[in-house]
Amino acid sequence: MKILILMSGGFDTYGPSRHLYHALIEDLLSDGNEILLIESHSTGNDPDVPDSFLAFHSFSYITIKRKVVKKRAFVRRYLNELLYVKKCKRFLKKLKTKYDAVLIQSLVCAPFLIPAVKRITKTKVLWNIQDMFPGASIANGVLKNKFLQKFFYNLHLKAYSSADYITVISEDMFDKVVEQGFDKERIEVIYDWFDDTSVRLIPWDENIFVKKYNLNPDLFYVQFAGTMGFNFDYRMVLKIATELKNEKNIVFQMIGFGSQMDIFMSKAKTLGLDNVVFLPLQKQEMVSHVYSAASIGLIPLPFGVIGNSVPSKIGLLMACKKAVVTTADGKSKYIKMINDNKIGFGFSTDSAKDVARAIIQLRDDANLLKELGQNGYDYGKTIYSRSYNTQKYIKLFKKIFKEE
């Protein structure tokens, strides 16, 4: 098959979905497919494409220059993406090759891109939704204007009606897409996976991250590693850390960057929370080392986010046999999954004291800590693994090809 992939970002810039598309494109190429990738070039922090792609003669790519805009600047970000979409359409009009399917990565300007792609390529479109828009922006407080909320909801109905198939990353998100009026028979739940060919538990004495920051094996590290943006509830971390500030061997290890990090750091300092430590984002090849250094993984989500977005790091924690402590909407399927499968503790967003008690319980009960970590590994290696989920994409593309 000849597959056209349109990314909302680019491999030159860190993003929470970058490792997913790295694995997906590799596996599609290994399956014998021909890929044209259209992506942005903004920061230039990393190469535009991984070397592994270039080993395939069936791979080609186009980069489109794009400015970097801060996430807090909602209007500028939207206009920046509209310009990117316009440039994408310009390149699409020049293409002479007929493609069998098009994959479009989650982006807020989907209502302008999906219909244009279908019109230009005359090909079926698979839309991968990582974050629901405007739902996620409303839930995390970025989009507060009621008129704009209604406007964007109505606008995005155009994207739903235009797409041929949609992939979502959780059952909660599946329900949201069905609520938008999309045919549930054309929605596939494909979890954000971990790479089971490389992500694994690294022993403490072999861990590069441990050695780099001289971590103490006698401390209990409550770790968050990733983007501290609007889908990250830093207020919950502050509440939990305050509850546990007298527990001298418990350290909240916050690793990464994001739009909320500065205010998070400032609030922690004001509150005198010496038990909260901030470290910079680590390179992709350090993933196993970073997550293996955690005693537990903490995933704090604001209320309303879980149906519109899902943390991709949960699979990574499972791969490294780490128990998960998370907060989200108490009645969500996400929280039910955590608790029913005994891979950690899931609480509602108003349960800081309960979270603090769970952390102490896990610190004091080594057998329970190990049991939950193993449960997560056993559960995650099936439905959260790369080998399982990229095959679901390959099967879906073959289904689309047969329908053409």
Spans of all domains in the chain: 2-193+386-403, 204-383
Select from 344, 51, 16, 333 the least CA-distant residue to 193.
16
Tokens of 213: 């920051």
Q: What is the pLDDT of residue 62?
A: 96
Residue listed under structure tokens 């546990």: 244
Q: What is the pLDDT of residue 72?
A: 65
- Sorted by sequence, the CB contacts under 8 Å of residue 320 that are 6+ apart come out as 199, 200, 201, 202, 288, 291, 292, 294
CB atoms closer than 10 angstroms to residue 382: 10
Q: What is the pLDDT of residue 84?
A: 95
User: Do the Cβ atoms of 28 and 394 come closer than 8 Å?
Assistant: yes
User: Do the Cβ atoms of 343 and 369 come closer than 8 Å?
Assistant: no
Tokens of 379: 């559960």
Q: Which three-class secondary structure string do you get for 103-130?
A: EEECCCCHHHHHHHHHHHHCCCEEEECC
Residue type at 238 in one-letter notation: L
CATH superfamily membership of 204-383: Glycogen Phosphorylase B; (3.40.50.2000)
Long-range contact pairs involving 107-112 (C-beta distance under 8 Å, separation at least 24): 107/8, 107/81, 108/77, 108/78, 108/81, 108/133, 108/134, 108/137, 109/78, 109/81, 109/82, 109/84, 109/85, 110/156, 110/159, 110/163, 111/155, 111/156, 111/158, 111/159, 111/162, 112/82, 112/85
- Sorted by sequence, the CB contacts under 8 Å of residue 35 that are 6+ apart come out as 3, 4, 5, 25, 28, 29, 53, 56, 58, 59, 60
Greatest Cα pair distance, the chain, in angstroms, is 66
Label residue 19 exposed, middle or buried (CB < 10 Å: 0-12, 13-18, 19+): buried
CA distance 161 to 339: 35
Phi and psi, residue 13, nearest 5°? -130, 135
User: Do the Cβ atoms of 163 and 119 come closer than 8 Å?
Assistant: no
Asked if the domains 2-193+386-403 and 204-383 are classified in one and the same CATH topology, the answer is yes
User: What is the CATH number assigned to the segment(s) 2-193+386-403?
Assistant: 3.40.50.2000
Residue type at 54 in one-letter notation: L
Label residue 206 exposed, middle or buried (CB < 10 Å: 0-12, 13-18, 19+): exposed
Q: What is the pTM of this model?
A: 0.85
- Sorted by sequence, the CB contacts under 8 Å of residue 340 that are 6+ apart come out as none
Strand partners, 278: 254
Local confidence pLDDT in tens for the 404 residues of the chain: 999 999 999 999 988 788 899 999 999 999 999 999 999 999 999 999 999 999 999 999 999 999 988 766 778 888 999 999 999 999 999 988 899 999 999 888 999 999 999 999 999 999 999 988 888 787 777 788 888 888 888 888 888 889 999 999 999 999 989 988 899 999 999 999 988 888 999 999 999 999 999 999 999 999 999 889 888 999 999 999 999 999 989 999 999 988 899 999 999 999 999 999 999 999 888 999 999 999 999 999 988 888 887 777 888 999 999 999 999 999 999 999 999 999 999 999 999 999 999 999 999 999 999 999 999 999 998 889 999 999 999 999 999 988 76
- Sorted by sequence, the CB contacts under 8 Å of residue 369 that are 6+ apart come out as 295, 296, 323, 362, 363
Alpha helix (H) residue ranges in 195-233: 208-212
Q: What is the pLDDT of residue 31?
A: 97
Measured between alpha carbons, how far is residue 339 from residues 30, 51, 351 in Å?
A: 37, 40, 15
